[in-house]
Amino acid sequence: MRISDKVVAQLKDLGVEVRQGVSLSDLTSLGIGGTTDELLLRRYETVPEVMRMLKDENIPHRFLGGGTNVLIADGELPWVVLHLPAAHPGVRVDGNAAYVDASADLGGMVTFCAKNNLGGMEGLIGVPGSVGGALRMNAGAYGTQIGPHVREVELYRAATGKVETLRGGDIRFDYRHTSFAPEDVMLRVKLELPSKPFKEILAGIKVCNEKRRSSQPLNQKSAGCIFKNPPGGSAGRMIDELGLKGHRVGDAMVSDRHANFFVNTGHASCVDMLKLIDEVRERVRSAYGIELENEVIVWRN
């Protein structure tokens, strides 16, 4: 979608940089996604005003975080994407509290806190993406989830059109799911982390990195696990047991390393990836009677 010069100029006045005709395949870890205009919001404070303007101008929009858990449609997209440029490091530490910008890199945040002798998040080290994205889906790995560390979240609430602060206790964090509304925009978070010597945290990080390297296709284009694990089960194990590793639709392929990772081996389209997801879901349903739920978020056009 292309926005008019008039709106581009209005956005510029709000400090928003508009990049026209951006291929979202360059902004996603899957390397899949069509073309649209990208709005870079350099200041968090402008989020409500920008959202209001887009609503007034009838411009559909989506908010893109790190782009690591999303599968985006092909072709010219009927909405623009909003994006908060990555903050470096985007973290401030005060005692056991870490104040983090939503656009900070999750791994960078874990490392920054570790250097300040704050631990508890070792398992999250290799999870790609932004802190805001991790917060929205309650990302987790190796026994660690971000949710239990959250004390406060500052967010743009789509329902009220305002920036609000929620207390951690008022947010539901479940397995790969939270009580945030889909249109809410994460802005900042306050985490409370246990004190731990840097060396000890580093040792934990090394163990997790090693486990991840030995079981996941880290050097291929993917969105991490495609499906959530069903209660008490493992999607990866079931798909593997069905002999589907290496199964492909075009350039979309079930990883031969970890069966719940679907990789883009070249120029996979969203259509290819969706077909692969449906085929695998169907095979699991007919063999195990289990309906796998997507973990990856699909943005259709």
Residues that bind ligand EPU (CB under 6 A): 141-142, 215, 224-225, 228-229, 234, 236-237, 240, 258-260, 295
We find the least distance from the C-beta atom of residue 142 to ligand EPU, in angstroms, to be 4
Residues recorded for the chain? 301
Is the Cβ of residue 57 or residue 175 nearer to ligand EPU in the bound state? Answer: 175
Using CB atoms within 10 Å of the CB of residue 95, give its burial: 0 to 12 exposed, 13 to 18 middle, 19+ buried.
exposed
Residue number with CB closer to ligand EPU (154 or 240): 240
CB nearer to ligand EPU: pick between 51 and 134: 134
Q: Which residues, 6+ apart, have CB-to-CB distance to 179 below 8 Å?
A: 171, 172
With both helix axes pointing from N to C terminus, report the angle between 106-115 and 198-215 in degrees, rounded to the nearest 10.
150
Among residues 204 and 236, whose Cβ is nearest to ligand EPU?
236
Residue 288 tokens, joined: 């195990």
Element containing residue 189 per DSSP (H, E): strand 185-192
**At its nearest, how many Å lie between ligand EPU and the CB of residue 110?**
14
Report the nearest approach of ligand EPU to the CB of residue 216 (Å): 6
Q: How far is the CB of 229 from ligand EPU (least distance, A)?
A: 5
Decide whether 151 or 177 has the Cβ nearer to ligand EPU.
177
60 near 51, Cβ under 8 Å? no
Distance of alpha carbon 270 from alpha carbon 265, whole angstroms: 13
83: tokens are 């994006």
* Nearer Cβ to ligand EPU (65/224): 224
CB neighbours of residue 55 within 10 Å: 12
- Smallest gap from residue 280 Cβ to ligand EPU (A): 12
Please list, residue by residue across 251-290, b when 16 or more beta carbons sit within 10 angstroms of its beta carbon and e when fewer do: bbbbbebbbbbbbbeeebbbebbbebbeebbebbeeeeee
Q: What is the closest distance, in whole angstroms, from the C-beta atom of residue 141 to ligand EPU in the complex? A: 4
Residue of 281, 285, 85, 126 lying closest to 208 (CA atoms): 126
Q: How far is the CB of 259 from ligand EPU (least distance, A)?
A: 3
**DSSP helix, strand, coil percent of the chain (3-state; round to 5):** 30, 30, 40
Q: Work out how close the CB of 298 gets to ligand EPU at its nearest, in angstroms, rounded to a whole number.
A: 15
Q: Which is nearer to ligand EPU, 26 or 175 (CB)?
A: 175
Cα–Cα distance, 142 to 205 (Å, whole number): 10
Q: Is 144:128 a contact under the CB 8 Å cutoff? A: no
Of 175 and 197, nearer to ligand EPU (C-beta) is 175
